[in-house]
Amino acid sequence: MKSRFITFEGIDGAGKSSQIAAAVALIQSRGIPVVQTREPGGTPLGEKLRELLLHEPMHLETEALLMFAARREHLAARIQPALAAGAWVVSDRFTDATYAYQVGGRGLDEKRFAALEKWVHPHLQPDLTLIFDLDPQVAARRLAGAGQAPDRFESEQADFFERVRAAYLRRAAADPARIKVIDAAQTPDEIRKELEQIIVEICFQ
Ligand code: TMP
């Protein structure tokens, strides 16, 4: 079976992380090797950049460029070797997050990102992207309930996350074959069933 690249997206607090384990377990249950990773991060250098991106004050364009720098390393050191070896890769976020957060949320010019995307991964797109869609007010309550100190993104206000959410939904509407939207207000069990169904339908053929 051809290797697959699956990404999970959504605003902070949408609950995607707890579902990634279920997706990985489903793939492994078919005897398929799978690499679970995340962005920003996924490599020793990428994790250092993640620490800076989440906690260090910086210019918004620095933030955008560091996201792509971390991604370049991630592709070279982790994603591409895994796919070439026949493994599947499941990543908690990828380039759709940059369009949602840096373009939608921060308001940076989309055209610049098309150029960066073409530079960093001209021939690779996820085979499947699952967007966990949730009302930012509900997501904010979930984050507050988790009781952890908010990072640079989590500290943003509701209108920022409204813009991020809208940008994700626009991307889903523009590429419905690749990007599937999951209603993250459902129970964890309902979400897991829906996402397993989508993975089976799109990836296990
Ligand atoms: P996480 O909390 O889902 O692991 O993601 C870390 C944060 O980084 C999250 O708030 C979204 C943000 N982010 C961007 O702003 N742009 C990107 O390209 C990526 C990958 C993440």
Interval 143-158: pLDDT, tens:
999 888 999 999 999 9
pTM of full prediction above 0.85: yes
Residue nearest to atom 3 of ligand 1 (CA): 12
Provide the CB-side half-sphere exposure for 48 (13 A, CA).
4
CB-based contacts of 198: which residues, under 8 Å, 6+ apart?
Answer: 128, 130, 180, 182
Residue 147 pLDDT: 86
Q: Is the CB of 97 under 6 A from ligand 1?
A: yes
Best residue among 16, 50, 93, 113 to mutate for probing ligand 1, ranked by most atoms within 8 Å of CB: 93
Residue 146 pLDDT: 87
Average confidence score pLDDT of the chain: 97
Residue 191 pLDDT: 98
In the structure, what pLDDT confidence band is assigned to residue 205 with cuts at 50, 70 and 90? Answer: confident
At which residue do the structure tokens 């895994």 appear? 82
Reported as a single tens digit per residue, the pLDDT across 115-172 is 999 999 999 999 999 999 999 999 999 999 988 899 999 999 999 999 999 999 999 9
Dist CA 108 CA 150 (whole Å)? 23
Please tell me the distance between residue 39's alpha carbon and the centre of ligand 1 in angstroms.
7
Mean pLDDT (whole number) for 77-100 = 98
Dist CA 186 CA 152 (whole Å)? 27
